[in-house]
């Protein structure tokens, strides 16, 4: 049994994903050294790094937007990621971008994926987040802890 719905697995495969896909991370570890790496980021990027998803149109609860898994899209934003990590008590690592750069995709040390911009939106854990991004399920807006 697949860990993704048939629709989402089709989108993943068209983007170049296959079960047991493993991408070498060395070039990103060098180029994205300004960010704090953690196991969840490494695991996610090994499987999905370098993929671009050209989804668009109406979704379940929000519009579907294209997104790309490439941590280099956040280069130069180390201070922003550090500030957001401190504000939310998590260690955010960049995964890529959503839409036309409106949001960065990020993952915390527990494997939860977020959209980060002027606010923080929780998309869900790993596979669930991919399902939501591809199908157009609105993320949950987070308020910084007080």
Looking at the structure of the chain, the number of domains it has is 1
pTM: 0.94
pLDDT at position 1 is 53
Domain that holds residue 117: 6-139
- CATH, residue 18: 3.40.1580
* Strand (E) or helix (H) holding 72: none
Neighbours of 10 (CB within 10 A): 12
Q: What is the pLDDT of residues 61-86, one digit of tens each?
A: 999 999 999 999 999 999 999 999 99
CA 69 – CA 10 distance, rounded (Å): 17
């Amino acid at each position: 049994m697949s860990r993704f719905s048939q629709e989402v697995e089709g989108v993943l495969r068209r983007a170049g994903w296959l079960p047991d896909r493993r991408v070498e991370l060395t070039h990103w570890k060098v180029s994205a050294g300004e960010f704090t790496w953690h196991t969840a980021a490494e695991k996610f990027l090994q499987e999905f790094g370098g993929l671009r998803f050209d989804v668009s149109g109406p979704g379940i609860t929000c519009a579907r937007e294209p997104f790309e898994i490439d941590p280099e899209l956040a280069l130069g934003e180390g201070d922003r990621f550090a500030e957001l990590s401190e504000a939310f008590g998590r260690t955010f690592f960049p995964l890529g971008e959503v839409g036309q750069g409106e949001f960065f995709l990020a993952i915390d040390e527990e494997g939860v994926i977020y959209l980060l911009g002027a606010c923080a939106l929780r998309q869900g854990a790993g596979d669930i987040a991919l399902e939501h991004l591809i199908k157009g399920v609105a993320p949950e807006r987070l308020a910084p802890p007080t």
